[in-house]
């Protein structure tokens, strides 16, 4: 293939100075997402959650391709031009106009548009998503999200006056019909901001409507966590200290919802964030031809939930080819993961001077995610964790030195010393060659 192109799932894309897809990534795209792999815990987790949304109301999309435009992933969702999510240090760019989706929200605009055709007022999307990030037991450059949305008629479409109070009452009737077992909301934030975010007010959202939609959203998601954490408690014996699952609603921020919330669950003695959601920005619905609707959307990470449901301690396990992993799981069955024996870890430190901007190979500042990616390239799944353990500023030159500790550990076997030494040598060499770092 020509050097200035890249082929992903049989489609060839031109590359440019924005391209930052590492050589090991296309193989993950080719798998099409673990949420569809038979018997896989991510697939069962997806199905468990899907079962809580009536099929008559929610269209399900589970195989949308992962390569999307910058317009779909960011612009259509009102991400500001300087939002950090857009940076090359956080996002995988195929080229300047094309990315690997960083979230399932990349499909919102398209699927709102499709609603007129499907006639269903909601959808669910599960998919593999891609982000440049740290290395530890809960972060991996590929993970899976489920997104859902639901819209309601706003009334008054003919007159162009949407302040109809019957709309809120209609939505509240549905809310009252949803019963959530074994759950206690211990804390809640305001359902709408005061005044309702100007982008919503400008589109004639009344506080009553915004509140009714938010209530519906919260009730539906409380149903999801009540079921999922009930399964988790039954399978793993872990869980809530109280008889009822305790949850709290926290005010959040997403560029494409207003108001926005995060849902946290009290689990194993800590508050755990499980999802983000909110009332869909009306201008987004308007642009998708759904101006006569008002609605909500949420997004959650499937790995995080599956790790709790099955007691899976390390995100790398989801990708394991080891029979000892695969043979533990059956479609639709949630049970505690029996870890195979834990192999010893090996720690290696690396110390280097942070380059002055102009000195690096790429002519850019040092980004930690670049460091992580070089390490994923040389160490692959044998790297368990990376921590910054020391930062030092030279008193006279003012230069900064960083020291990172790398934990090497295989989930499947014991690593030998020469093997780890050689991995670390390749890593050091790559830091010099690829990032132009001056090692100490």
Position among 33, 122, 155, 276 found at the interface with ligand PHE (CB under 6 A): 276
CB of 275 to ligand PHE, least distance (A): 7
Distance of alpha carbon 59 from alpha carbon 121, whole angstroms? 8
Tokens of 242: 């109280």
CB of 76 to ligand PHE, least distance (A): 12
Site string for ligand PHE, 84-103 (x = CB under 6 A): -------------------x
264 counts as binding ligand PHE under rule CB under 6 A: no
Which DSSP string do the residues of 121-187 spell out, in sequence order? SEEEEEEEEE-----BTTB-SEEEEEEEEEEEE-S-TTTT----HHHHHHHHHHHHH---TTEEEEE
Handedness of CA 148, 99, 20, 1 (dihedral sign): positive
Beta bridge partners of 58: 122
Distance of alpha carbon 101 from alpha carbon 95, whole angstroms? 13
Position among 298, 371, 404, 408 found at the interface with ligand PHE (CB under 6 A): 298
CB of 397 to ligand PHE, least distance (A): 40
CB of 246 to ligand PHE, least distance (A): 22
Q: Hunting for tokens 């049989």 — which residue is that?
A: 10
Q: Which is nearer to ligand PHE, 295 or 379 (CB)?
A: 295
Q: Which of residues 181-240 bind ligand PHE (CB under 6 A)?
A: none
Tokens of 255: 């560029």
Q: What angle do CA 191, 192, 195 make, to 5 degrees?
A: 155
Cα atoms in the Cβ-side hemisphere of radius 13 Å centred on 299: 20
278 counts as binding ligand PHE under rule CB under 6 A: yes
The secondary structure element, H or E, covering residue 94 is: strand 93-95
CB of 276 to ligand PHE, least distance (A): 4
Q: Which is nearer to ligand PHE, 87 or 242 (CB)?
A: 87
Q: Tell me which stretch binds ligand PHE (CB under 6 A): 10-18, 67-75, 271-279, 313-321.
A: 271-279
Position among 297, 315, 383, 386 found at the interface with ligand PHE (CB under 6 A): 297
Q: Which residue is nearest to ligand PHE (CB)?
A: 299
Q: Which is nearer to ligand PHE, 148 or 155 (CB)?
A: 148
Site string for ligand PHE, 118-157 (x = CB under 6 A): -----------------------------x----------
Q: Tell me which stretch binds ligand PHE (CB under 6 A): 226-234, 296-304, 313-321, 352-360.
A: 296-304
The secondary structure element, H or E, covering residue 58 is: strand 58-61
Q: 403-434: string of b/e by CB count within 10 Å (b at 16+)?
A: ebebbbbbbeeebeeeebeebbeebbebbeeb
Distance of alpha carbon 274 from alpha carbon 46, whole angstroms? 14
- 158, exposed or middle or buried, with CB in 10 Å at 0-12, 13-18, 19+? exposed
CB of 131 to ligand PHE, least distance (A): 9
Query: 370 near 392, Cβ under 8 Å?
Result: no
299 counts as binding ligand PHE under rule CB under 6 A: yes
Tokens of 7: 């082929």
DSSP 8-state class, residue 346: E
Q: Tell me which stretch binds ligand PHE (CB under 6 A): 37-45, 172-180, 274-282, 318-326.
A: 274-282
Position among 95, 105, 126, 258 found at the interface with ligand PHE (CB under 6 A): 105
Q: 3-state DSSP call for residue 295?
A: strand
257 counts as binding ligand PHE under rule CB under 6 A: yes
CB of 105 to ligand PHE, least distance (A): 4
Q: Tell me which stretch binds ligand PHE (CB under 6 A): 50-58, 67-75, 218-226, 295-303.
A: 295-303
CB of 377 to ligand PHE, least distance (A): 25
Q: 3-state DSSP call for residue 36?
A: helix
Q: Which is nearer to ligand PHE, 300 or 307 (CB)?
A: 300
Q: Tell me which stretch binds ligand PHE (CB under 6 A): 44-52, 110-118, 276-284, 355-363.
A: 276-284
Binding site for ligand PHE (CB under 6 A): 103, 105, 147, 254, 257, 276-278, 297-299
């Amino acid at each position: 293939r020509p050097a200035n192109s890249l082929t992903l799932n049989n489609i060839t894309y031109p590359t440019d100075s924005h391209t930052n897809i590492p050589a090991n990534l296309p193989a993950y795209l080719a798998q099409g997402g673990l949420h569809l792999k038979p018997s896989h815990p991510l697939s069962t987790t997806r199905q468990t959650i899907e079962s809580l949304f009536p099929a008559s109301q929610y269209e399900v999309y589970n195989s949308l391709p992962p390569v999307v435009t910058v317009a779909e992933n960011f612009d259509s969702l009102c991400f500001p031009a300087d939002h950090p999510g857009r940076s090359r240090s956080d996002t995988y760019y195929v080229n300047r106009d094309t990315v690997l989706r960083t979230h399932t929200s990349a499909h919102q605009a398209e699927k709102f548009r499709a609603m007129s055709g499907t006639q269903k007022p909601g959808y669910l999307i599960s998919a593999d998503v891609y982000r440049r990030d740290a290395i530890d037991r809960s972060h991996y450059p590929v993970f899976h999200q489920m997104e859902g949305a639901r819209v309601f008629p706003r009334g008054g479409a003919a007159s162009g006056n949407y302040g109809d109070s019957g709309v809120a009452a209609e939505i509240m009737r549905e809310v009252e019909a949803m019963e959530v077992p074994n759950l206690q909301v211990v804390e809640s934030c305001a359902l709408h901001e005061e005044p309702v975010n100007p982008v919503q007010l400008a589109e004639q959202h009344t506080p009553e409507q915004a509140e009714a939609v938010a209530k519906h959203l919260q009730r539906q998601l409380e149903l999801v966590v009540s079921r999922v954490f009930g399964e988790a408690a039954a399978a793993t014996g872990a869980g809530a200290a109280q008889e009822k699952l305790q949850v709290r609603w926290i005010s959040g921020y997403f560029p494409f919802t207003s108001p926005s919330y995060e849902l946290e669950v009290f689990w194993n003695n800590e508050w755990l964030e499980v999802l983000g959601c909110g009332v869909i920005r009306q201008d987004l619905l308007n642009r998708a031809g759904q101006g006569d609707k008002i609605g909500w959307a949420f997004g959650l990470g499937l790995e995080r939930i599956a790790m709790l449901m099955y007691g899976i301690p390390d995100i790398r396990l989801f990708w394991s080819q080891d029979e000892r992993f695969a043979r533990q799981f059956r479609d639709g069955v949630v049970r505690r993961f029996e870890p195979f024996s834990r192999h010893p870890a090996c720690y290696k430190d690396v110390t280097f001077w942070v380059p002055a901007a102009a000195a690096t190979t790429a002519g850019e500042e040092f980004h930690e995610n670049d460091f992580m990616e070089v390490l994923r390239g040389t160490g692959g799944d044998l790297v368990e964790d990376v921590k910054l353990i020391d930062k030092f500023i030279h008193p006279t030159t003012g230069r900064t030195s960083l020291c990172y500790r790398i934990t090497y550990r295989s989930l499947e076997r014991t690593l030998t010393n020469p093997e780890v030494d050689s991995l670390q040598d390749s890593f050091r060499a790559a830091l010099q060659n690829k990032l132009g770092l001056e090692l100490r």
